[in-house]
Amino acid sequence: MRQVKLLSALLLLLAVPACSARRSTHTTLRQTIFQQTTVNDLLPDVADGSFEDLTESDTAFDDLVENNSPAELFSVPPGAPIKTLREEDDSTVLMLSNLPGYSLTFKQPKLCDTSVRQYSGYLNVDSDKHFFFWFFESRTSPAKDPLMMWLNGGPGCSSLLGLFMELGPCMINPDGNGTHVNQAGWNTKSNVIFLDQPLNVGYSYGTGVSNSEDAAKDVYAFMQLFYTAFPRFQQHDFHLFGESYGGHYVPAIGDEIRRNNKGAQADGYHVINLKSIGIGNGLTDPLVQYKYYGDMACKNSFLSKEQCASMDAAYPTCARLINLCYRFPSSFACVPPAAYCNKQMLEPYVRAGYNPYDVRVKCDPSTPLCYSEITAITKYLNLPHVMRELGAKVSKFDSCNTDINRQFMMAGDWMRPYVRKVPKILEAGIRVLVYAGDADFICNWMGNKAWTIEMEWAGKSKFSATKDQPWTVDGIDAGEVREVGPLTFLRVYKAGHMVPYDQPANSLDMINRWLAKESFLN
């Protein structure tokens, strides 16, 4: 039991992480759902312009989805429990385009940063899928600035943690009774969607999924409905960013968009104008990432010689198990390496009392995942007036859902090679930013840099041969960068697992340069 509890804590990786008909059956349905709808039809107040189940398959991972027809709108659910709901509120309900059951339930809350237009609520699909979102328009030029989606990790952690701890328009107050404006919010020059996903994370609820592949299908469908509800943003550049377990989510979603964009217009879909993806301190290539836990812990003298020797001795077995998962990505092959490698490679560091998200500080055991801000955020998002203002339908907000975490773990999703989707994204002309705070342990910069160098893609040899260059902000060293064509790796100095939390000004410089397609080289 002790091991299960410890693994559950480790696997949360905060980032503080029956549809069987084929394509032809859905052509008319898709055209009905996703036909172009005017702003006046849906949101008159803003008209001013202001399946493949991986747990059962032993097919090579690359072939699981690449040659299939576009996925069903939503995947086969594993039977996740439905949350207890609140009574109906005064949210505006808009039915979407002649399809019963598809709707947008939204409010315009007066919370966080009231200087920008914002929307919160749910995109609903029939009675069993309800995605909570909080959307903030840009502080600069909403009509021109790009659209961005932010996802926290876990799996099972709410993206509202990223909103209130890292990059949102406001930060949580220590007492959890309010917020204050964040001048380094990423909506300075972008319109930002914070999405609670997978289902049953944060305020979202419904029949959920248990792997990143199926979660990607849900997010793709969410974006289709979002564009139907907010068509004025459809032509904007779209950027997808995530943290921690976002190293799984973001490549999966990016590749889902890439594949489905090919025949989107012919099938009645909106083409998603995906320009880039970003992964912050992510778990993308476990085989490479786990190799560097020993280096990160032992070269910094956190552990004893005996503990370091034990970690070094365990990695060859860990690598063999992960390789089996890479060859045969079924739950049978992929659960054992997660259990073994996490116990052997992560547990020694955590047992020593260190913060797995920041090697510079000890973990406060009285707080969730080492951070008191999570307690404050959870308190705030459970305040009755806040829930009413946001239009929350669930009776309780949890910052991280351990049931979701466990379901993903037992489905074998943890060790699957989502890194193999990244080359296809690069080849499609979609830029990729991998950034990592250099004080993080659990998704450390060494492992993230290593997989970007080792990854097989057209620019591998040039990327491997390129030397790191300094990245400076206002004349001060902020990190080091390696960029070749569409791929960039950025090491961020003096930052842990959550780069915007530790380096708000530098992270804003990072995201603004990236969105503007400006080099990090000075």
Catalytic residues, by residue number, are: 244, 440, 497
* Whole-angstrom distance, CA of residue 281 vs CA of residue 247: 8
DSSP secondary structure letter of residue 105:
E
- Crossing angle of helices 2-11/402-410, nearest 10°? 100
Which residues partner with 124 through β-bridges?
103, 130
Percentage helix, strand, coil for the chain under 3-state DSSP, each rounded to 5? 40, 15, 40
Coil, helix or strand at residue 77: coil
Structure tokens at 187: 């909506």
Q: Pick the closest to residue 177 from 369, 367, 381, 366 (CA basis).
A: 381
Task: Put residue 85 in one of left, alpha, beta given phi > 0 → left and psi -120 to 50 → alpha.
Answer: beta
CA–CA distance from 478 to each of 13, 52, 276, 416, 488 (Å)?
A: 24, 43, 22, 32, 15
Given the DSSP bridges, would you call strands 129-136 and 205-206 parallel, antiparallel or unpaired? antiparallel
CB atoms within 10 A of CB 240: 28
DSSP letters, 10-28, are HHT----------GGGGHH
SS3 417: coil
What is the distance between the alpha carbons of residues 487 and 274, in angstroms, rounded to a whole number?
Answer: 15
Query: Strand locations in 58-128, DSSP E?
Result: 92-95, 102-107, 118-125
Short-list 287, 285, 415, 328, CA closest to 60: 328
Q: Which residues contact 301 (CB under 8 A, 6 or more apart)?
A: none
φ, ψ for residue 105, nearest 5 deg: -110, 115
